[in-house]
Amino acid sequence: MFRDVMIEQKRDFERMLAEKYVERACSSVAREDSPLVKVIIGPRRAGKSFFAAHLVQQLGRPGYINFDDERLGGSIDIDDLLSTMDDIYGHPQHVLLDEIQNVPKWELLVNRLLRQRRRLVVTGSNAHLLSSELATHLTGRHQPVLMFPFSFTELVRLKGVALTGPERRSLLDRYAQEGGMPEPWVTGINRTEYLKTLVQSILYKDIVRRFKIRSIQGLEDLAYYLCSNVAKEFSYQTLTHVTHCRSVHTAARYLKYMEEAFLFFTLRRFSFKVREQAASNKKAYCVDTGVAMALGFRPGRDEGRLWENVVAIELHKKELRGEALIYFWRNAQNEEVDFVVRQGLKVTALIQVCLDAAEPTTRNREVRALLKAGAELKCKTLLVLTSKEERDEEVKWFGMTGKIKFIPLLKWLEADEASSA
């Protein structure tokens, strides 16, 4: 009964392999041919399937099943499906299982194929797969590979723009406004309509259908609000009002679903006391600035918050890979540091994002907050990510001293990806 579906999916698979391939930052992590299940996890339409198709082809003679297909929904005969795949692909040793989270009890299928000594590559669009489900069901027999939309340096490789010169700055401006979802960059399709449709797909396929949400309008209103307020603090009381939910618990649950679906992520306010962290407001960021621009409302270009969102995405990847914990800092005088990077028990970096670090009032505000946070958190790595300025400056203020490094965002993004490769 699955033969027509499998034949159609095989054509889709072959089309993916025939299209132009852009080297991704995580490529070197996933290439090794090993018995570990390679789990490619990230937002919808970030390029997971395309990357996984090329990966599994390099590893050996592949088979392919895409579970993001309504014809494979509900209760299906897995034995019949696998038998059809083996017949069409010639009993492949290497198999790509796309959007595995759509399969009830997917771990049983994966474990069965492992017992058959198949080499598996699976993809998933749910952050829950990244931690507890994988750890529980695959017990160390997996290699997680995180894939987000194009980073800036990946976009540079796509465009073939040299990493020096004015082209880089112009492309960065576009990247902050348009985001990194691959398909609009590669094909030139209408970005706004594409991204709006993508968000609707995420809301309905990954949240409404999976969690049986009744207040669909409340979910849409929450997405619109968060896209319109990236890099701003929020309280659950505010989200309750926005979504017209009856309780803060429902609003918090909606936000959790959106985080699991890789649509938004949040940062906690730093405190040495866990209870204070839990009680404080959070900040919300979108996994792609293009999505925030397409879905949200803002009276202008709002470049400062978009740049901050770009930095937040790169730091969030570190958090998902288990390399660091990321917070923001605010004191009683409402002085703020955009990002606190913590590794283990130590705060290793404090980061401000500032387009115009030359403007005296702005510069003093950013620098003073860094000095105060550095003294409180015992951190000496104080960074200001700027539009162009690059220099080190020794700063003194009311008995506090510190060395502030001003670094162009372009340079920081390039160095950050190089260190994560």
| pLDDT tens string 178-213 | 999 999 999 999 999 999 999 999 999 889 988 889
Q: How many domains does the chain have?
A: 3
Least confident of 32-36, 160-164, 243-247: 160-164
Q: What is the pLDDT, as a whole number, of residue 418?
A: 60
- If asked whether residues 71 and 201 sit together in one domain, one would say no
Per-residue pLDDT at 416 exceeds 80:
no
Q: What is the pLDDT, as a whole number, of residue 421?
A: 54
- If asked whether residues 269 and 347 sit together in one domain, one would say no
Q: Does residue 338 fall inside a structural domain? A: yes
Q: What is the pLDDT, as a whole number, of residue 111?
A: 87
CA gap 295, 53 in Å, rounded: 30
pLDDT, tens only, 64-97: 999 999 888 777 888 999 999 999 999 999 999 9
DSSP state of 270: P
Per-residue pLDDT at 30 exceeds 60:
no
Per-residue pLDDT at 32 exceeds 70:
no
- If asked whether residues 169 and 94 sit together in one domain, one would say no
Q: Is 385 helix (H, G, I), strand (E, B) or coil?
A: strand
pLDDT, tens only, 217-230: 999 999 999 999 99
CA gap 129, 106 in Å, rounded: 11
Q: Does residue 230 fall inside a structural domain? A: yes
Structure tokens at 220: 């849409």
C-alpha distance from residue 335 to each of 40, 299, 326, 352 (Å): 39, 25, 18, 12
Confidence of residue 329 (pLDDT cuts 50, 70, 90): very high
- The answer to whether 242 and 314 are in contact (CB under 8 A) is no
pLDDT, tens only, 42-73: 999 999 999 999 888 887 789 999 999 988 87
- If asked whether residues 73 and 190 sit together in one domain, one would say no
- If asked whether residues 158 and 295 sit together in one domain, one would say yes
CATH of the domain at 113: 3.40.50.300
Structure tokens at 202: 């995420």
Confidence of residue 357 (pLDDT cuts 50, 70, 90): confident
DSSP state of 322: T
- Number of Cβ within a 10 Å radius of residue 146: 21
Q: Which residue has the tokens 């795949």?
A: 85
- If asked whether residues 133 and 201 sit together in one domain, one would say no
pLDDT, tens only, 103-141: 888 888 888 899 999 999 999 888 766 555 665 677 778
Q: Does residue 287 fall inside a structural domain? A: yes
Q: Does residue 421 fall inside a structural domain? A: no
C-alpha distance from residue 177 to each of 25, 170, 288, 292, 303 (Å): 21, 11, 10, 9, 8
- The answer to whether 359 and 350 are in contact (CB under 8 A) is no
- If asked whether residues 17 and 135 sit together in one domain, one would say yes
- The answer to whether 310 and 409 are in contact (CB under 8 A) is yes
Q: Does residue 316 fall inside a structural domain? A: no
Q: Which of 311, 334, 351 is the last residue of a domain?
A: 311
CA gap 125, 101 in Å, rounded: 7
Percent of the chain clearing pLDDT 70 (strictly above): 93
- If asked whether residues 158 and 139 sit together in one domain, one would say no
* Average per-residue pLDDT for the chain: 89
Q: What is the pLDDT, as a whole number, of residue 301?
A: 67
Would the pTM of this model clear 0.85, i.e. be above it?
yes
- The answer to whether 373 and 395 are in contact (CB under 8 A) is no
Q: Which of 146, 180, 206 is the last residue of a domain?
A: 146
Q: Which residues contact 231 (CB under 8 A, 6 or more apart)?
A: 283, 284, 285, 305, 308, 309, 312, 338
Q: Does residue 320 fall inside a structural domain? A: no
Domain of residue 290: give its range.
152-311
